[in-house]
Amino acid sequence: MNIYCDKSKLNPLKLPRHIGIVMDGNGRWASKKHLPRIAGHRKGVERVQEITEFCGNIGIEALTLFAFSDENWRRPEEEVGGIMGLLRWYIRKEHKRITENNVRFRVIGDRRKLSSDIIELISALEKDTYHNTGMHLCVALSYGSHGEILRAVRKIVEKVKENLIYPDDIDEQIFESCLDTQGLPPLDMFIRTSGEYRVSNFLLWQLAYAELFFNEVLWPDFDTEKLIELLKQYSLRERRFGMTPEQVSLKQNESAIYLKR
Ligand code: IPE
Ligand code: IPE
Ligand code: MG
């Protein structure tokens, strides 16, 4: 029994294995309060800590957070610099806690565009948490799904050129093993805050059968209560993967019998 699920009245058997969140609305949160945009990003980082801890406690296997997109490099230099500063601060401050909490940390995206000291901080945390066995915390940084897919295609072409695989061998499994998210469980749940109804180049391949949740809350206001509410909605959704409702309930009954054994 998981006491955190119990306290939040969540059914541990109906939780997503992997949640992806587009943490949007930091700038609007700050503007509403007549604060500079960076104040919204700062508050956003506090929410990252809260949501990450909660997801780990209830037994989520992987959490992927969209922190900075490939397209966000187009923002004013001052804002990009401010976000990078927050990132440094976050990794330095959280290194010990993430490592000791058994979290497995990874960054996905084109890290070559990040400054060398940030790359070092990230690599050190990835290395120190590599053998951890708890939740995967995956931060999408300088990330764009198109770029990720193209990198995967290049890796596959190299393998073909080296005669390690034949073109006919290329299947979903091989393709997924070349994505930045390789080894993570399938994405079950997608959340975007701030009332924007788009995916903005986030995990396009992985979203194929995820349940989508768009909500109006600005990310700096997105708390554990809100996540619990969405998780309850998730638990009521019927995921059919192309099958009929009858087939789905038959499968559920079968696995219930199997679990009872
Ligand atoms: C999301 O908040 C954080 C990043 C993209 C880095 P925004 O900065 O996009 O906030 P809004 O959408 O302008 O309110
Ligand atoms: C998406 O938010 C990226 C992150 C949350 C990090 P944006 O605010 O950059 O997305 P668009 O440009 O409005 O679609
Ligand atoms: Mg935005």
Q: What is the pLDDT of residues 27-52, one digit of tens each?
A: 999 999 999 999 999 999 999 999 99
- Specify the pLDDT at position 259: 64
- Specify the pLDDT at position 18: 98
Identify each DSSP E strand in 94-218 by its residue range. 104-108, 136-143, 189-192, 211-214
- Note the pTM of the prediction, 2 decimals: 0.96
Kindly report the CA angle at 181 between 247 and 81, in degrees rounded to 5? 135
- Specify the pLDDT at position 252: 85
Residues in binding site for substrate: 25-29, 37, 41, 69-71, 73, 75, 192, 198-200
Q: What is the pLDDT of residues 92-136, one digit of tens each?
A: 999 999 999 999 999 999 999 999 999 999 999 999 999 999 999
57, 72, 132, 215: the active-site residue: 72
The answer to whether 24 is a known catalytic residue is yes
- Specify the pLDDT at position 174: 98
- Residue 143 backbone phi and psi in degrees, to 5: -105, 140
Q: Whose CA is nearest to atom 4 of ligand 1?
A: 68
Identify each DSSP E strand in the chain by its residue range. 18-22, 62-69, 104-108, 136-143, 189-192, 211-214
Residues in Cβ contact with 171 at an 8 Å cutoff, skipping those fewer than 6 apart: none
Q: State the number of CA atoms in the 13 A half-sphere of 60 facing the CB.
A: 25
C-alpha Rg value of the chain to the nearest Å: 19
24, 180, 188, 201: the active-site residue: 24
- Specify the pLDDT at position 1: 74
Query: Residues lining ligand 1, judged by CB closer than 6 Å?
Result: 23-28, 68, 72, 83, 194
Low pLDDT (below 50) residues in the chain: none
Distance from the alpha carbon of residue 24 to the mean position of ligand 1, in angstroms = 5
Q: Which of 194, 200, 216, 218 to mutate to test the pocket of ligand 1 (most atoms within 8 A of CB)?
A: 194
CA 31 to chain centre: 26
Q: Any idea where the domains of the chain sit in the sequence? A: 13-144+186-260
The answer to whether 72 is a known catalytic residue is yes
Which CATH code, of 3.40.50.10740, 3.40.1180.10, 3.40.50.300, 1.20.1050.10, is assigned to 13-144+186-260?
Answer: 3.40.1180.10
